[in-house]
Amino acid sequence: MAEKLKAPRGTFDALPESQPARQRIEGQARKMLEASGYGRIETPAFEDTELFARGVGGSTDIVQKQMFSFTDQGGRELTLRPEGTAPVCRAYIEHGMHKLPQPVKLWYAGPYFRHERPQAGRFRQFNQIGAEVMGSDSPLVDAELIVLLHDLFTDLGIEGTRLRLGSLGTAETRRAYLEELTTYLRSRESELSKEVVARLDSNPLRAFDSDDEGTQTVMADAPKLMDRLDSADADHFAHVRSLLDEQGVSYDLDPTLVRGLDYYTRTVFEFESSKLGAQAALGGGGRYDGLMSQLGGPDTPAAGWGAGIERIALALGEQEPPRLDAFIVADDAARDRALALAFDLRRHGLAADLDLAERSAKGQMKQADRSGARYAVFLEGEGEPQLRAMESGEQRQVAAAELATHMRKAINS
């Protein structure tokens, strides 16, 4: 026998039983974002590698270790997208969206690819829902984005989420702060982990993320960026916070919040769930006022977030599948009529199914039970259908031509 093939490491098949949760998440996000003035955008699953090298930042884990990159037949350097913001900015620039009324509000959903070590909640192909607002530096934008993501989790009924919130300031504040932090880290270099020391010049902020005990002790006394914000950044952050307070969205101020991407300025945030293990981040984002010009576009302040569908689904747990309205049980003489009747019901907007494997009447009845359908419809020979309500067991004859109308009325009453 030929050897069986498996899905590539770190990938998964989203089977039918996982779809109710996934579709609920995507459906709720779409409804909420479109009701808030966000238009959907779809960008290619791969882009020029240069976009991510420039957009995400050369010193990040994503660019250094996690990209699925390849050279195509035409010699182009391409990468399966590891994140959604840089591609959306590329599209904003390419389509001259800065000429539209600002800000431009976009949302997206689709697969992303990172070569990470697979574990529960961490995959090499995963799906994100994202939202980006481009062309305004108003704190209202930051607040709107955060409240929307908060409301998404609340509407889905996910409990035990925590919002971590911080501000990274503008590029200049950050530069001065990074110098101060690097000097401090150099002064205590011998106490730091090797990994942190290796990255000290390229990305000293990552030291706050370290699991190493010695490093953590050093970081407890390290200067914090939030204490170094200039007055414009501090005012911006205070305004975002007051808007969140007004909306009753609680958060923990986290001066050590550094996200794994280089482009953030000012507000950064992350929602975590206590229901998930080590991979607790449900979604996060922030402001990235410098990214658009870094990618060759006009100076355009912007902010956004990305949230992982698989992580949210884990926190949500399994969801009820949609219920069939009718399962048709037919004897041998009525099998073809059963198919015609199923289509008649479906064309009237009802969810109907039937046996397609020539099971006995008993076998079909079992199927009807297992399907969870509200009604079983019995067809015998040339006779009119018998409609049985599965819960009450009540049964009556209804003319085939009137069955759909009758059922719709019964279901809506």
The residue ranges that bind ligand AMP (CB under 6 A) are: 83, 114, 116, 121-123, 126, 128, 259-260, 281-284, 306-308, 310-311
Give min distance, CB of 383 to ligand AMP, in A: 54
Give min distance, CB of 312 to ligand AMP, in A: 7
Q: Which of 259, 267, 306, 271 is nearest to 289 (CA)?
A: 267
Dist. CA 110–CA 96, nearest whole Å = 23
Q: Which of 144, 140, 112 is nearest to 131 (CA)?
A: 144
Dist. CA 173–CA 309, nearest whole Å = 34
Q: Which residue, 262 or 310, has its beta carbon nearer to ligand AMP?
A: 310
Q: Which residue, 62 or 244, has its beta carbon nearer to ligand AMP?
A: 62
Q: Which residue, 65 or 396, has its beta carbon nearer to ligand AMP?
A: 65
Cβ-closest position to ligand AMP: 308
Give min distance, CB of 11 to ligand AMP, in A: 10
Give min distance, CB of 233 to ligand AMP, in A: 22
Give the 3-state secondary structure of residue 229: coil
Contacts of 53 (CB under 8 A, 6+ apart): 63
Which segments of 321-402 does DSSP mark as H helices, in order?
A: 335-347, 361-371
Q: Contacts from 112-115 at CB under 8 Å and sequence distance 24+?
A: 112/81, 112/82, 112/83, 112/84, 113/45, 113/67, 113/68, 113/80, 113/81, 113/82, 114/62, 114/66, 114/67, 114/68, 114/82, 115/10, 115/65, 115/66, 115/67, 115/68
Q: Which residue, 285 or 385, has its beta carbon nearer to ligand AMP?
A: 285
Q: Which residue, 121 or 301, has its beta carbon nearer to ligand AMP?
A: 121
Give min distance, CB of 394 to ligand AMP, in A: 47
Q: Which residue, 128 or 170, has its beta carbon nearer to ligand AMP?
A: 128
Give min distance, CB of 278 to ligand AMP, in A: 12
Give min distance, CB of 256 to ligand AMP, in A: 16
Q: Which residue, 207 or 268, has its beta carbon nearer to ligand AMP?
A: 268
Torsion-angle region of residue 12: left (phi > 0), alpha (psi -120 to 50) or beta? Answer: beta
* C-alpha to C-alpha distances, 371 to 15, 322, 407, nearest whole angstrom: 17, 10, 18
Q: Which residue, 128 or 300, has its beta carbon nearer to ligand AMP?
A: 128
Kindly provide the b/e burial profile for residues 216-226, where b requires at least 16 CB atoms within 10 angstroms of the residue's own CB: eebbeebeebb
Give min distance, CB of 50 to ligand AMP, in A: 19
Residues in the chain: 413
